[in-house]
Amino acid sequence: MSRSFFLIGIFLIVVAGGLLFLQQNDNPEGNQSDQTTNLALSEPKITQVAMLADCTVQLTINGNMKTLPTAFDPAIAKCEKYTVSSLSPSGNYVAFEDLSSSGIDAVVSLYELSNDRVYTLDDFGTESVLDMVFLPSNRLLVLYSQGISGKQSLRLYDVPSLEPLLVDVPPEGDLSTETLNPFVFERDLDDAKGIAKAIRLTDTSVVLVDEFDDITNPLFEISLSEL
State the virtual CA torsion across 107, 187, 136, 178 in degrees, nearest 10: -50
**The pLDDT of residue 171:** 83
Query: For all residues of the chain together, what is the average pLDDT?
Result: 86
**The pLDDT of residue 174:** 86
Q: Read off the pTM.
A: 0.81
Strand order in the sheet with 117-123: 85-87, 93-99, 106-112, 117-123
Q: For the chain, what is the total number of helices (H) and then of strands (E)?
A: 5, 14
Q: Which long-range contacts (CB under 8 A, 24 or more apart) does 78-81 make?
A: 78/53, 79/51, 79/52, 79/53, 79/54, 79/55, 80/50, 80/51, 80/52, 80/53
Q: Give the tens place of pLDDT for each residue, 82-139.
A: 999 999 999 999 999 999 987 789 999 999 999 999 999 999 999 999 999 999 999 9
**The pLDDT of residue 1:** 46
**The pLDDT of residue 20:** 41
- Which parts of the chain have pLDDT scores under 50? 1-25, 27-28, 30, 33, 35-40
**The pLDDT of residue 173:** 83
Count CA atoms closer than 13 A to 144's CA, side-chain side.
22
Nearest alpha carbon to residue 115 among 159, 67, 59, 164: 164
